[in-house]
Structure 1
Amino acid sequence: MGSNLFYFNVLVLVFVVSCINQVWSQGVFDVKAFGAAFLNAWKQACRSGGTVLVADGTYLVNTIQFSGPCKGGVTFTVNAVIVAPKGKSTANYWISFHGITGLNIQGNGTFDGKGPSAWPYNNCHDASSCQPLSPTLVLTNVYQALVHNIRLVDSKGFQMKIEEGENVTINNITIKAPADSPNTDGIHTGNIKYVNILNSNIGTGDDCISIGPGTTNITITRVNCGPGHGISIGSIGLRSTDQNVKGVKVQSCKMRSTQNGVRIKTYTSPYQVSVSDVTFQDIIMDKAQNPIIIDQKYCGGSKRCKALFSTLQGTSNVQVKDVKFIGVRGTSSSEIAVNLDCSSSKPCQGIELDNINLSLASGGKATSSCSNARVSSSGTQNPPPCQNRMPLM
């Protein structure tokens, strides 16, 4: 009996210790318990694989980076308002997550970048050189990550940047900034693979989503965009280090009163890189200014761009190929609803138009324009597809 009781007590002790360890490993570290010292709470969660909790109230947070590696997956739960300092900032980020495997950013809270206090200092459009204003949320070298349910408003620069990682999902988030806010791209990706963006509402002063160099295997589904510049691949070709973009699928999205609908933009530059294996499918346009556009003479209007590439006379060495536009429908606010303006030195190859139905919002007929593009079409074609216009070889 005594022996059995001894073993029973040992088993209970082992069970209790196991439970304690499990609770600790899944511990919740409320920043309030650390005097609102976010980094201290993060370090504890990172050591044990727990949760940082930001709840109840408003928190003013200066530039901060949460770094790994961590012992296990870490959850960052925001059920409050996190506010950036007012004024100009050109740091590489306001809030950064770096070097983490297994990251979950969640909650019903808001990241407020206080952009109106910084936007008057943005001169990148006119200056020959400039430093962009700080993005709100930056994820670098992050793997197996999920960002969901949060809100980002009024970033100084880009709202969210995801770079140099793998397997990142963005689900059910809201991003807002005024239509005239400069360079406030909603989500920007670069040098990353296997990205999934879905079920989100994005309205900004720039691209709702910008797919940058080195992005491969990205899927964008059920995203409502507007205001903004649409969903864009690019800009590509600005730097000699730019990598190929491949495996892009944008499906079941809506563009409302956007400057562009679905777009590929490449610089008039000497750098040889490619954009390939792209599908835009089941996209609804509601008074989009340029519903379908490939722009290989992009320079962004910046003096810096024109100074760098002034000798190229409007040619791009970026190869755009194997691009499908399927089931794109709705209204265009400009007469040219389909504009394929490709490079004379690297003409677009394998462009497919399948069941396109775009009407001019103000009445009348929309048109198509093609230059240096090899295009095939099938199904409904409104406006009528333009004829292939290829350079003389």
Structure 2
Amino acid sequence: MCAKYLFMLCLLAYSAEAQTKIFNVKDYGASADGSTDNTWSDACKWKGDTNVVIPEGTYMLRSVIFNGPCNGAITFQINGGTLDGQGTATRQKCLNNSCQILFTSMDLDFITNGRIENLHSFDSKGGHFIVFGSANMTFTKLSLISPANNRNTDGIKISHTNGINITSVTIATGDDCVAMISGAKNVRITDVFCGPGHGISVGSLGGGNPLELPVEDIVVMNCTFNGSSNGVQIKTWPFPLKTPLKVSNFTYEDIVMINVQNPIFINQQYCPEHNCDLSKSSSVQISNVSYKNIRGSSATDVAVNFNCSKEVPCQDVTVEDIDLMSSGGKGRQKLSNFCFNVKGSSFGKQIPPSCVASNRFVSAPLPN
């Protein structure tokens, strides 16, 4: 791992009154020769705060697992701050050998009060970060980069987690920049640059998992999307559930779109492999969604696309001060909006004209 950053991951477990102890991985046999596989103890048994230090160098790793619970707060300090997933080379090897390896660069499970800062992760095999079963996590000053054609390389994927703050992060991937799925709650995303990628997404949801939990209380503010396939999107499967899944309380505000294919998108007929029965309706109830001060350019003729469920229409959707023009030089008059089974209201500037308040159909193609 070699770069110009300093990476710190703080995991708070139990408090203890003791001086912080330094654990240098070289004392545990780690070698920075670029060809040796290394692993080390995470100092979890130390009764007090610990600092696990990885000096500058190149370390070749297999899967490394740090198990808890631990006896104190732990800081992982990577002097260099770069994680190289070598995903492109691995994918080419898998194409030649008919295999599929999509390891995540870093899984963060059951962590409380964690902070990930000043890290550069690139060319991941699968996603860069997955957060599961955690609480009160902060991601800041990160650069997460994967080639656009490397599939399933989500930047940050969140599930069954309450309390996430993502700020000052640059993400370029072959999948969602940020994905919030089952059980993601109280997520605040600010000052994020996304592109290329599939946008900042809620979902996909409603595919039939009986244990799936609601997604609630999401804020996305002061973000920029450049060349992404989607901007802010909510996606659900056209699948009937015994009990509707409720997702609610989303705020999207002060957002810039640059040449984005679907700037504002609710897609309740999500079916990327085109093998779904689209005569069926999604059972995911979307409600209380606000879009405010979103401006920029669309790479398609549809600026705002609300394709909601026939069974449980979108409720309380608000659009305010929307200003989107064509990125192809066609002019604003060429753009349109699409509304299907959405109930809500419009305020302020609406370019192109909103279709939310009247719930009328506007000439536009249905999404694929």
* Range into which the TM-score falls when normalised by the shorter chain: 0.7 to 0.9
Going from structure 1 to structure 2, the CA distance change for 1:50 and 1:297 (only over 3 Å counts) comes to: same
Note if contact 1:204-1:227 (Cα within 8 Å) is conserved in structure 2. Answer: yes
Note if contact 2:44-2:72 (Cα within 8 Å) is conserved in structure 1. Answer: no
1:388 maps to 359
1:73 maps to 73
1:268 maps to 238
1:360 maps to 326
Listed as ranges, the gaps of 5+ residues in structure 1 are 1-20, 81-108, 124-129
CA–CA separation in structure 2 for the residues paired with 1:340 and 1:122: 38
Note if contact 2:44-2:71 (Cα within 8 Å) is conserved in structure 1. Answer: no
Going from structure 1 to structure 2, the CA distance change for 1:368 and 1:154 (only over 3 Å counts) comes to: same
- For the residue of structure 2 that corresponds to 1:151, the secondary structure is strand
Going from structure 1 to structure 2, the CA distance change for 1:212 and 1:122 (only over 3 Å counts) comes to: farther
1:60 maps to 60
Query: Of the candidates 27, 48, 64, which is equivalent to residue 21 of structure 2?
Result: 27
Going from structure 1 to structure 2, the CA distance change for 1:225 and 1:27 (only over 3 Å counts) comes to: same
- For the residue of structure 1 that corresponds to 2:42, the secondary structure is helix
CA–CA separation in structure 2 for the residues paired with 1:382 and 1:132: 44
* Paired amino acid for 1:354: E
Q: What are the Cα deviations for residues 238-258 of structure 1, in whole angstroms up to 9, with x where unaligned?
A: 222110001000000000011
CA–CA separation in structure 2 for the residues paired with 1:182 and 1:122: 13
1:100 maps to none
Query: Between the two proteins, what is the percent identity of the paired residues?
Result: 36
Note if contact 2:262-2:299 (Cα within 8 Å) is conserved in structure 1. Answer: yes
* Paired amino acid for 2:271: C
Query: Of the candidates 310, 319, 333, which is equivalent to residue 299 of structure 2?
Result: 333
Note if contact 2:176-2:200 (Cα within 8 Å) is conserved in structure 1. Answer: yes
Note if contact 1:373-1:389 (Cα within 8 Å) is conserved in structure 2. Answer: no
1:316 maps to 282
Higher RCO (CA-CA < 8 Å; seq separation 6+): 2
Answer 1 or 2: which has greater helix percent: 1
Q: TM-score, normalised by structure 1?
A: 0.80
Query: Of the candidates 170, 175, 179, which is equivalent to residue 139 of structure 2?
Result: 170
1:1-393 alignment to 2 at 5 Å?
A: 25-36=19-30, 40-43=40-43, 46-80=46-80, 109-120=81-92, 133-238=102-207, 239-271=209-241, 272-301=244-273, 306=275, 310=277, 313-362=279-328, 363-364=330-331, 365=333, 366-386=335-355, 387-389=358-360
Note if contact 1:49-1:70 (Cα within 8 Å) is conserved in structure 2. Answer: no
Going from structure 1 to structure 2, the CA distance change for 1:155 and 1:60 (only over 3 Å counts) comes to: same
CA–CA separation in structure 1 for the residues paired with 2:44 and 2:105: 24
Going from structure 1 to structure 2, the CA distance change for 1:287 and 1:160 (only over 3 Å counts) comes to: same
Larger gyration radius, structure 1 or structure 2: 1
CA–CA separation in structure 2 for the residues paired with 1:40 and 1:25: 21
1:11 maps to none
Q: CA RMSD in A?
A: 2.2
Over 2 Å off, 4+ runs: 37-41, 43-49, 117-123
Note if contact 1:46-1:68 (Cα within 8 Å) is conserved in structure 2. Answer: no
Going from structure 1 to structure 2, the CA distance change for 1:275 and 1:389 (only over 3 Å counts) comes to: farther
How far has the Cα of 1:56 moved from its partner? 1.6
